[in-house]
């Protein structure tokens, strides 16, 4: 029986500062905030209008009860913000974007085109019976099963304070960290369980699956928690309550992997996965053309394994800046094509100010997992296989136009072995040939070779304006010269 897919309104919110009003109530199954407290406030009851009106206008109901007369707005706490910020907050909320049609669910416009999801193609039209609606096809059902098996990591509330701060939630600022956790979690799913793995609804949880979820728990005990990411990313400007961009996020994962490798001493190389950030000759988000050197890859694999294995599985992170205020349109076909790579881990990015994890494409629409839903902390124990993991999965398929993606993003790829890496290099080289002189990144045999493509076109947008990272948080005074060199780290 096909898995039930939810086509409810999208809950994607930008990271605009606005208070969390408590959990919403949904009649559909799947991940969502707990409804245990819904009865404490009338606005939280499951009505259509509460979903539309409560969130965007929440700026007006932050004062204690009794301070307002009926029909009045209390703006005492917002005098320093002003109406411009207030309007921006309303328009950036998920509810207002739903009203104006900026978030969509389901198949784009009933399209009958193939769907690409992290290297797997799904045909939503049956060759023997084209009259079948796309959403009723076996291909779409298989796509939904795959999509809902990807790990969703969202805002959480109620975790232990981060470091010496009082932050017990990452609401309104942690979307980039959560998006990156989803990408790395997907790499670990493929690494440990294989790309064909699907979460079963009627079988006990698998031990390896629970172990992966535990890595992304919300405490210092979990290796890849938001607590440990923030600690590892201090050099790159990460701090609780602050936004961060894809480049800094990629380098943070490299740093965190290094620290965990030093703690464990690489005791089990069979479970090791290297992280490699692909950058240019000059490191940094404005550091030139990303170049992947095959000679370096082979050398580092041999060095990291210390002769124990011939190859170390690799997670490649490729941070890119592809425009100023909007993405240069010449890169859109190239980004879409990467989802056809069997090694695809998707894209770390989204709309300006609202990072998401982009996992698939159909026509010009991007399917994504949204971290902006606030959920209570779940304590995942390695030895507890009866834990409720529904909040780590999503059965609502959301999409947005790829040309609205923020130009600052990062692409991920996973290569399990040498033959997989060779296949990746062939596909990436073919993509370079199709790029008309402006590839996303290049492949070179050795550092001394001159086969890499000139990237002058990368440095200007469609309007010819020099490009800068649109929202990356970099420590003040930090220059490209004191960035660390590319290093291999192990997860």
Those residues whose C-beta lies under 8 Å from the C-beta of residue 80, and which sit 6 or more positions away, are: none
User: Which one is catalytic: 191, 227, 372, 399?
Assistant: 372
Q: What is the DSSP letter of 187?
A: H
Tally of residues, the chain: 491
Burial of 372 (0-12, 13-18, 19+ CB in 10 A): buried
**Helical H segments across 265-389, by residue range:** 294-305, 332-338
Active site residue 191: no
3-state secondary structure of 117: strand
Do 81 and 90 meet the contact criterion of CB atoms below 8 Å apart? Answer: no
The DSSP code sequence of 433-472 is: HTSTT--S-EEESSTT---SPP-GGGGB-TT-PBP--SS-
Query: Residues 141, 362: contact at Cβ < 8 Å?
Result: no
- 72 and 85 Cβ atoms separated by less than 8 Å: no
Give the angle 313-174-105 at the CA atoms, nearest 5°.
85
- Helices vs. strands in the chain: H and E counts, helices first: 11, 15
> Rounded distance, CA 157 to CA 377, Å?
6
- Residue from 13, 15, 370, 406 carrying the catalytic annotation: 370
The catalytically annotated residue of 15, 146, 170, 175 is 175
Q: Tell which residue, 171, 209, 222, 165, has the closest CA to residue 33.
A: 171
- Report yes or no: 185 and 352 within 8 Å, Cβ to Cβ: no
Q: How is residue 231 written in tokens?
A: 């600690």
Q: Where are the alpha helices (DSSP H) in 128-174?
A: 138-147
**Distance (Å) of CA 193 to CA 167, 210, 222:** 34, 11, 20
- Cα–Cα distance for residue pair 473/249, rounded to 1 Å: 9
Does the annotation mark 214 as catalytic?
no
Question: How many angstroms separate the CA atoms of 343 and 264, rounded?
Answer: 27
Q: What is the dihedral of CA 107, 171, 152, 231, to 10 degrees?
A: 140
DSSP 217-230: -SSTTSTT-HHHHH
**Phi, psi values for residue 388, rounded to 5°:** -80, 115
Q: Is 175 a known active-site residue? A: yes
**Catalytically active residues, by annotation:** 175, 370, 372
């Amino acid at each position: 029986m096909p898995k039930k897919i939810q086509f409810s309104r999208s809950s994607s919110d930008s990271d605009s500062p606005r208070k969390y009003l408590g959990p919403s109530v949904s009649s559909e199954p799947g991940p969502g905030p707990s409804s245990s407290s819904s009865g404490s406030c009338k606005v939280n009851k499951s009505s259509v209008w509460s979903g539309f009106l409560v969130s965007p206008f929440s700026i007006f109901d932050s004062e204690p009860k009794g301070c307002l007369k009926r029909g009045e707005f209390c703006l005492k706490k917002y005098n320093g913000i002003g109406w411009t910020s207030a309007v921006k907050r309303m328009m950036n909320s998920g509810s207002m974007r739903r009203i104006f049609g900026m978030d969509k669910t389901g198949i784009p416009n009933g399209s009958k085109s193939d769907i690409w999801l992290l290297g797997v193609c799904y045909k939503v039209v049956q060759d023997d019976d084209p009259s079948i609606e796309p959403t009723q096809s076996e291909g779409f059902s298989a796509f939904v099963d795959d999509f809902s098996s990807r790990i969703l990591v969202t805002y959480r509330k109620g975790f232990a304070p981060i470091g010496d701060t009082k932050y017990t939630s990452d609401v309104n600022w942690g979307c980039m960290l959560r998006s990156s956790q989803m990408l790395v979690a997907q790499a670990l799913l493929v690494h440990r369980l294989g790309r064909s793995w699907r979460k079963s609804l009627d079988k006990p949880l698998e031990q390896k699956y629970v172990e992966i979820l535990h890595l992304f728990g919300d405490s210092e005990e979990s290796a890849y928690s938001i607590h440990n990411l923030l600690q590892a990313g201090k050099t790159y400007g990460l701090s609780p309550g602050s936004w961060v961009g894809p480049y800094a996020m990629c380098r943070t994962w490299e740093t965190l992997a290094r620290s965990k490798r030093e703690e464990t001493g690489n005791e089990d190389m069979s479970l090791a996965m290297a992280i490699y950030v692909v950058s240019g000759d000059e490191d940094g988000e404005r550091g030139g053309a990303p170049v992947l050197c095959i000679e370096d890859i082979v050398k580092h694999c041999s060095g990291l394994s210390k002769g124990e294995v011939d190859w170390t599985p690799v997670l490649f992170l490729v941070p890119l800046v592809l425009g100023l205020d909007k993405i240069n349109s010449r890169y859109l076909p190239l980004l879409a094509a990467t989802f056809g790579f069997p090694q695809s881990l998707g894209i770390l990015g989204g709309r300006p100010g609202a990072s998401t994890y982009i996992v698939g494409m159909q026509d010009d629409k991007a399917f994504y997992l949204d971290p902006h839903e606030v959920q209570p902390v779940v304590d995942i124990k390695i030895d507890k296989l009866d834990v409720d993991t529904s909040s780590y999965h999503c059965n609502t398929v959301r999409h947005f136009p790829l040309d609205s993606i923020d130009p600052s993003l990062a692409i991920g790829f996973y290569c399990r072995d040498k033959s997989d890496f060779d296949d990746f290099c062939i596909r990436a080289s073919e993509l370079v040939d199709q790029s008309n002189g402006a590839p996303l990144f290049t492949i070179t045999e050795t550092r001394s070779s001159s086969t890499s493509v000139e990237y002058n076109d990368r440095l200007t947008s469609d309007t010819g304006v020099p490009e800068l990272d649109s929202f990356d948080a970099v420590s003040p005074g930090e220059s490209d010269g004191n960035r660390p060199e590319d290093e291999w780290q192990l997860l």
